[in-house]
């Protein structure tokens, strides 16, 4: 007993010594960075006090960042300045402050910081989301994707893909729920596959034969991108590079595997180039432009790979997250489920298949369900970070001076739950949108699922079409119950940590087919 105590005591002392040495080392590295350029005289936003080295990172311990920052904002207000390691970070949590960031100061704040881990997965920031917004590269890539993949005309052209995938989803659920044991269905998994298939078919013209391997590696990548890596927080510290080296190595390995998959997809595709421009998909267009020129930016293989990775992940992850949250909220709110199903079943009465032309603009309650889901569960809860230029004057936000080089985070999750904007803000009540006409177009800063301003999501319309058709299909063709007769209040609603706020656990539900399906579905 005494020996065990002594061993534990020595271990504790050893740990304290190691942590102290590490902190002092990191502090040494930070000392040279502490020239505040006279900022002390400026009107800095309020924020929690900072510890040496780690700054205000202790405030984020033990919870998801968007939750912790929401709680902090109640104390320090909607414009807060924190120091996360070496990184000066502004967090805004009200519609008014978001308007200043994404409208008044939109041009000044339209660039993104590029963290080390992110740098690895984006081939050194060569994708749309991270390229500087003034660059020709960003303008041309964004325009190309907008016209060839995400324009209303293209989104409409992908209708058959969506409808075929929805029919396959019904068949897959029927086959798992009609087995003798009628096992519950992993709704999250089914939706993940379906969203991935829709986006790959839209970009490549067909499903990817490597989808399982790709999805597996993409899951790994999202985990690695989930939080701040030590090196992201202490970019100048050699010690942080040593301590954080393991996860960096892992990121490089996952990226190398993803790169092999994407490059092999590109290679196979290049061999099947069509001479008919009408039949070109997005990857064919990129490959043709690479070969023949026509853009001012150079489309290297890495640029094409990073664009594909970005579109595959942005396109599937956000929509799959929204659909599973919508189903979860409907399970927890039987009245809303009943109303949504009644609306759909009345409109589609007698049909054996959901077709978009039958539902277009007619499912008002379902549209409110989707809005309410995006209000409470924006899939990208902190949007994507923006950056105050490192050189020049501080940027003014709500009268405060924000230092050059500061990362700016908009807590869309907190804004969606702001009691000043929404009655009973934490309750799922789709009916609230009956009187309150709020849209996704980035003009109403109370509701920002796709961001706003120059960096607003270009894929919202495509995403919403996928979400609406899938939810209609699930609610039309099946009645849903929680497994093991669990009550609706028992459904776990925890979120996972990451750039996107997915459900922490997969959603498993028991499906009972509602509409008899015919053989040619």
457 is in an annotated binding site: yes
The binder of ligand HEM chosen from 56, 318, 373, 465 (CB under 6 A): 318
Strand pairing report for 407-410 and 400-402: unpaired
The burial of 277, by beta-carbon neighbours within 10 Å (0-12 exposed, 13-18 middle, 19 or more buried), is given as exposed
How many Å apart are CA 283 and CA 265, to the nearest integer?
10
How many residues in the shown chain lie near ligand HEM by CB under 6 A? 29
How many Å apart are CA 292 and CA 272, to the nearest integer?
17
Question: 474 or 511, CB closer to ligand HEM?
Answer: 474
Shortest Cβ 520–ligand HEM spacing (Å): 30
Angle subtended by helix axes 301-332 and 460-477, to nearest 10:
40
Is-contact 407 386, C-beta < 8 A?
Answer: yes
Here's the x/- map for ligand HEM, 147-186, by CB under 6 A: it reads as ---x------------------------------------
Q: Residue 495 pairs with which residues in a beta bridge? A: 503
411 lines the binding site for ligand HEM (CB under 6 A): no
Strand pairing report for 407-410 and 478-481: unpaired
How many Å apart are CA 414 and CA 65, to the nearest integer?
11
Q: Return the DSSP state at 104.
A: I
Nearest to 409 by CA among 73, 35, 117, 50: 73
Handedness of CA 337, 338, 343, 346 (dihedral sign): positive
Is-contact 407 385, C-beta < 8 A?
Answer: yes
Question: 251 or 467, CB closer to ligand HEM?
Answer: 467
The binder of ligand HEM chosen from 72, 81, 254, 311 (CB under 6 A): 311
Is-contact 89 55, C-beta < 8 A?
Answer: no
- Per DSSP (E only), the strands in 287-393 are 386-387
Q: Residue 92 pairs with which residues in a beta bridge? A: 79, 410
Q: Which two tokens stand for residue 87?
A: 């990184």
Shortest Cβ 462–ligand HEM spacing (Å): 4
Give residues 93-152 in contact with ligand HEM (rule: CB under 6 A).
Answer: 128-129, 142, 150
Here's the x/- map for ligand HEM, 189-218, by CB under 6 A: it reads as ----------x-------------------
Is-contact 325 318, C-beta < 8 A?
Answer: no
> For ligand HEM, which residue has the nearest CB?
451
Question: 79 or 248, CB closer to ligand HEM?
Answer: 79
Is-contact 395 110, C-beta < 8 A?
Answer: no
Question: 41 or 153, CB closer to ligand HEM?
Answer: 153
Q: Give residues with Cβ within 8 angstroms of 205, minimum separation 6.
A: 281, 283, 284
Is-contact 371 447, C-beta < 8 A?
Answer: yes
Give residues 439-498 in contact with ligand HEM (rule: CB under 6 A).
Answer: 449-452, 455-460, 462-464
The binder of ligand HEM chosen from 310, 343, 372, 401 (CB under 6 A): 310
380 lines the binding site for ligand HEM (CB under 6 A): yes
The binder of ligand HEM chosen from 266, 314, 359, 507 (CB under 6 A): 314
CB atoms within 10 A of CB 486: 12
Question: 102 or 224, CB closer to ligand HEM?
Answer: 102
Shortest Cβ 50–ligand HEM spacing (Å): 26
Question: 159 or 252, CB closer to ligand HEM?
Answer: 159
Shortest Cβ 486–ligand HEM spacing (Å): 28
Question: 22 or 146, CB closer to ligand HEM?
Answer: 146
Question: 97 or 248, CB closer to ligand HEM?
Answer: 97
301 lines the binding site for ligand HEM (CB under 6 A): no
Question: 82 or 109, CB closer to ligand HEM?
Answer: 109
Q: 3-class SS at 186?
A: strand
The binder of ligand HEM chosen from 229, 319, 333, 472 (CB under 6 A): 319
How many Å apart are CA 110 and CA 95, to the nearest integer?
18
Question: 230 or 467, CB closer to ligand HEM?
Answer: 467
Shortest Cβ 475–ligand HEM spacing (Å): 18
The binder of ligand HEM chosen from 45, 47, 244, 379 (CB under 6 A): 379
Shortest Cβ 322–ligand HEM spacing (Å): 5
Q: Which two tokens stand for residue 508?
A: 């498993």
Tokens 């690695």 map to which residue?
Answer: 224
Residues that bind ligand HEM (CB under 6 A): 128-129, 142, 150, 199, 310-311, 314-315, 318-319, 322, 379-380, 383-384, 449-452, 455-460, 462-464
Residue ranges at the known binding site for heme: 457
* Feature table: binding site: 457
């Amino acid at each position: 007993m005494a020996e065990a105590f002594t061993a534990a005591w020595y271990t504790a002392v050893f740990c304290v010594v190691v942590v102290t040495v590490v902190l002092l080392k990191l502090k040494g590295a930070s000392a040279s960075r502490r020239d505040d350029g006279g900022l002390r005289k400026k009107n800095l936003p309020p924020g929690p006090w900072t510890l040496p080295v780690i700054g205000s990172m202790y405030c984020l311990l033990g919870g998801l960042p968007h939750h912790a920052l929401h709680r902090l904002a109640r104390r320090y207000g909607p414009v807060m300045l924190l120091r996360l390691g070496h990184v000066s970070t502004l967090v805004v949590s009200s519609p008014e402050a978001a308007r200043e960031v994404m409208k008044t100061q939109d041009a000044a704040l339209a660039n993104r910081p590029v963290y080390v881990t992110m740098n690895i997965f984006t081939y050194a920031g060569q994708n749309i989301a991270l390229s500087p917004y003034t660059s020709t590269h960003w303008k041309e890539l964004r325009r190309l994707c907008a016209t060839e993949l995400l324009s209303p005309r293209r989104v409409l052209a992908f209708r058959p893909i969506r409808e075929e995938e929805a029919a396959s989803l019904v068949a897959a659920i029927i086959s798992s729920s009609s087995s003798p044991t009628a096992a519950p269905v992993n709704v999250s998994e089914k939706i993940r596959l379906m969203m991935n298939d829709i986006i790959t078919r839209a970009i490549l013209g067909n499903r990817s034969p490597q989808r399982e391997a790709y999805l597996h590696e993409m899951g790994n990548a999202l985990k690695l991108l989930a939080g701040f890596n030590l090196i992201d927080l202490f970019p100048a510290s050699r010690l942080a590079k040593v301590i954080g080296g393991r996860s960096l190595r892992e990121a490089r390995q996952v990226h190398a595997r993803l790169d092999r998959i994407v490059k092999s997809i590109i290679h196979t595709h290049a061999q099947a180039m069509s001479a008919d421009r009408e039949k070109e998909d997005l990857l064919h267009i990129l490959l043709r432009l690479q070969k023949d020129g026509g853009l001012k930016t150079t489309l290297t293989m890495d640029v094409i790979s990073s664009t594909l990775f970005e579109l595959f992940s942005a396109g599937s992850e956000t929509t799959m997250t929204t659909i599973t949250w919508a189903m979860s909220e409907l399970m927890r709110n039987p009245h809303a489920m009943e109303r949504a199903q009644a609306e759909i079943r009345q409109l589609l009465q007698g049909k054996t298949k959901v077709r978009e032309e039958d539902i277009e603009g007619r499912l008002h309650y379902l549209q409110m369900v989707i809005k309410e889901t995006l209000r409470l569960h924006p899939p990208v809860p902190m949007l994507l970070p923006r950056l105050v230029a490192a050189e020049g004057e501080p940027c003014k936000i709500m009268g405060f001076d924000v230092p050059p080089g500061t990362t700016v985070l908009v807590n869309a999750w907190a804004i969606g739950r702001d009691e000043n904007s929404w009655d009973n803000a934490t309750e799922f009540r789709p009916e609230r949108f009956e009187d309150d006409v709020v849209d996704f177009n980035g003009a109403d800063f109370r509701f920002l699922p796709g961001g706003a301003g120059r960096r607003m999501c270009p894929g919202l319309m495509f995403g919403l079409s996928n979400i609406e058709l899938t939810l209609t299909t699930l609610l039309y063709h099946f009645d849903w119950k929680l497994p093991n007769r669990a009550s609706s209040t028992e459904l776990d609603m925890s979120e996972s940590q990451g750039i996107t706020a997915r459900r922490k656990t997969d959603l498993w539900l028991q499906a009972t087919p509602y509409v008899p399906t015919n053989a040619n579905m």
